Amino acid sequence: MLSSSSASADENISSLLLRLCGFPPARLRMNARNKTQNLTWRSLTHLYILNETRIIGENPPSLPPGAAVRKPALQAALKFVLTGIDDSSLVGLPDPKETKANRAGQREAYLQVAQEVEREMRQHEAVLRELPVVTLEAEFEVATAALTGSTEGMRALQDEKRVLLRERELQRAALRTTRETLRRFGLLREHYGSDLRRLRFLGEGDHYFGQLRLTRCPTCGAPMTPEHEHAAEAPQAQTYALAIAEELHKVEGYLQDLNGTVAGLETQAATQEEAVRQIEAACEAFDVTLRAATAQHKVRQGDIARLTRARMVQQEALAAWQRRATYHIRADELTRPLRSARPQQRYGIDGAVLRQFADVVGSTLRRWNFPLQGVVEMDDQSLDFRVAGRGRSANGKGYRALLNSAFVLSVLRYCDGRGLPHPGVLILDSPLTTFRQDRKFLAEDSDRVHASFLADLLASPEGHQIIVLENTEISDDVRGRLNHIEFSREKSGARPGFFPVP
């Protein structure tokens, strides 16, 4: 189902009629801000339909009465019909009312932001009062220098402490080595003592066992006689006692040497223990110094952090001052009148096209034997034309009726001659009646214009439909060459109304 009014529908009566007439989809300018709208059938009807009022009106035929507001759209329609070029490439201009409203909204937004910045600034006022810029920068430089010195001092103290700790570890390692040696020598001394006790036990045992009498020889098992006992005993007992005595002497020598060595090691261990105690005491004292330096370093770091925060607050406050000033400047700028926009490119019909179209209008008037002959000039801004330097509206009703009719007929023939789309329909209501009634023209002049007008219409190409509503009589020879319908209630054979009687 076709809609007659839906501008957004893909298929409606308007788009169907335009497509049947060969018009492509197009966008036409509708106001001075270059806003565009779709081409519709109603956009073009004023260029091929002239009713009884418009045909004699002072308004240009391309600008119907009461259409001053629609003048940009009517100008765009004429341009599109004469050139075939639409306005889809136009860049829209902002609406002054919308621009004014937007500027007011922007100014209000800037003022609100400026108020928020002022509240932020009041929060920073205490910092700004306590630490002016010059004082803060001076304190920051002093604190930075102190922190740098403290950092270098901490680094030196830490280096010294590392040396002490390394020395302490070396002394502790040496002490551990000495103590381990003493422990092992203690085990060796216990071993030597055990050997001495065993040797002494063997010597005493030999003494006591030597007092016992043997009944059998321990060597051969023979009964012990005085002679046999003396021979078996004397050399062996002497050798055994000498061996024990020699071994005792050797072990006692070892033990004496070991005791001397242990005494030296114990002295060395005592010296090392004292050195370790001294180093540990030095480390403890150094730790106290380092803790004090660390505490002082933390204080200086805290000073730097405090001053850094203060400087950040100060910078934020100064930035807030600048932002507030910027927002106020922008708000003030929005109260000033808008600068005149850069002049846009003049909108209109190409001069060459107008010249060609004006020539077609002039040819039409000459074929009609129009009384006023001369060069026809067309103005794309007023949408009107002049003949022989005289404006169209400056003529009387009879002249205007013919001039307006010549305009719309010329549009049809201009488009037809250049392959441009056109409905191919023309409706003229009473183009000759007013001209024939004007008493200043001779009857023969009026008849000549009347005949020339009809002859020109009859010469229109096939496919054009021109409907003329007139109250004048036409000759029989002309009447037979056109579709003549007479409306009358009294005359026999005439149609009583527009719609035929069934």
395-419: string of b/e by CB count within 10 Å (b at 16+)? beebbbbbbbbbbbbbbbbbbbeee
pLDDT confidence of residue 421 = 94
pLDDT confidence of residue 263 = 87
Last residue of one domain, picked from the residues 335, 370, 402? 335
Residue 498 lies in a domain: no
pLDDT confidence of residue 7 = 43
- pLDDT of 365 strictly over 90: yes
- pLDDT of 9 strictly over 60: no
Last residue of one domain, picked from the residues 271, 301, 335? 335
Q: Which is higher by pLDDT, 348 or 36?
A: 36
Please compute the mean of the pLDDT values over residues 128-137 and round it to a whole number: 59
Exposed/middle/buried for 191, CB within 10 Å: 0-12, 13-18, 19+? middle
Q: Can you tell me the distance from the alpha carbon of 178 to that of 189, in angstroms, rounded to the nearest whole number?
A: 16
pLDDT confidence of residue 467 = 92
- pLDDT of 306 strictly over 80: no
Query: Mind listing the pLDDT tens digit for each residue in 451-496?
Result: 899 999 988 888 899 999 988 778 778 888 888 888 887 777 778 8
DSSP 8-class letter at 347? P
Question: Among 164-173, 296-305, 353-362, which is the least confidently predicted range?
Answer: 296-305
Residue 108 lies in a domain: no
Same domain, 223 and 300: yes
Residue 127 lies in a domain: no
The domain that holds 319 is classified in CATH as 1.10.287
- pLDDT of 229 strictly over 70: no
Q: Which is higher by pLDDT, 55 or 220?
A: 55
Residue 273 lies in a domain: yes
Residue 5 lies in a domain: no
- pLDDT of 315 strictly over 90: no
pLDDT band for position 38 (50/70/90)? very high
Question: Among 73-87, 324-338, 432-446, which is the least confidently predicted range?
Answer: 432-446
Q: Which is higher by pLDDT, 132 or 301?
A: 301
Nearest CA among 72, 63, 86, 73 for reference residue 408: 63
Q: Do residues 405 and 434 touch, judged by C-beta distance below 8 A? A: no
- pLDDT of 383 strictly over 80: yes
Last residue of one domain, picked from the residues 275, 300, 335? 335
The boundaries of the domain holding residue 245 are 133-335
Q: Can you tell me the distance from the alpha carbon of 189 to that of 251, in angstroms, rounded to the nearest whole number?
A: 10
pLDDT band for position 301 (50/70/90)? confident
Same domain, 413 and 457: yes
Query: Mind listing the pLDDT tens digit for each residue in 65-91?
Result: 776 678 888 889 999 999 999 998 888
416 phi and psi angles, rounded to 5 deg:
-65, -40
Same domain, 55 and 173: no
pLDDT confidence of residue 206 = 62
What DSSP string describes 194-219? HHHHHHHHHHHHHHHHHTSPPSB-TT
Residue 277 lies in a domain: yes
Amino acid at 195: D
Percent of the residues in the chain that have a pLDDT greater than 90, as a whole number? 20
Query: Mind listing the pLDDT tens digit for each residue in 24-33?
Result: 999 999 888 8
- Looking at the DSSP bridge assignments, the partners of residue 216 are 223
pLDDT confidence of residue 347 = 81
- pLDDT of 5 strictly over 50: no
Question: Tokens in use for 445?
Answer: 């002049």
Q: Can you tell me the distance from the alpha carbon of 221 to that of 156, in angstroms, rounded to the nearest whole number?
A: 90
Same domain, 146 and 288: yes
Q: Which is higher by pLDDT, 435 or 436?
A: 435
Residue 223 lies in a domain: yes
Same domain, 75 and 158: no
Number of H helices, E strands in the chain: 10, 8
pLDDT confidence of residue 227 = 60
pLDDT confidence of residue 381 = 83
pLDDT confidence of residue 1 = 42
pLDDT band for position 262 (50/70/90)? confident
Q: Can you tell me the distance from the alpha carbon of 418 to that of 139, in angstroms, rounded to the nearest whole number?
A: 87
pLDDT confidence of residue 6 = 45
Q: Can you tell me the distance from the alpha carbon of 93 to that of 342, in angstroms, rounded to the nearest whole number?
A: 11
Please compute the mean of the pLDDT values over residues 13-21 and round it to a whole number: 90
Same domain, 137 and 273: yes
Question: Tokens in use for 408?
Answer: 């719309």
Q: What is the pTM of this model?
A: 0.55
Same domain, 69 and 156: no
Same domain, 225 and 308: yes
Same domain, 370 and 252: no
pLDDT confidence of residue 155 = 80
User: Interior CA angle at 462 toward 461 and 464, to 5°?
Assistant: 80
Same domain, 279 and 311: yes
pLDDT confidence of residue 188 = 84
CA distances from 55 to 153, 210, 419 (A): 106, 177, 27
Q: Can you tell me the distance from the alpha carbon of 279 to that of 167, in angstroms, rounded to the nearest whole number?
A: 8
Q: Which is higher by pLDDT, 132 or 292?
A: 292
Same domain, 22 and 62: yes
What is the rounded average pLDDT for all residues in the chain?
A: 80
Q: How many domains does the chain have?
A: 2
Residue 446 lies in a domain: yes
Q: In 7-79, at which residue ranges do the beta strands (DSSP E only) sit? A: 27-29, 36-38, 49-50
pLDDT confidence of residue 4 = 47
Same domain, 149 and 81: no
pLDDT band for position 189 (50/70/90)? confident
pLDDT band for position 228 (50/70/90)? low
Question: Among 74-78, 246-250, 328-332, 447-451, which is the least confidently predicted range?
Answer: 328-332
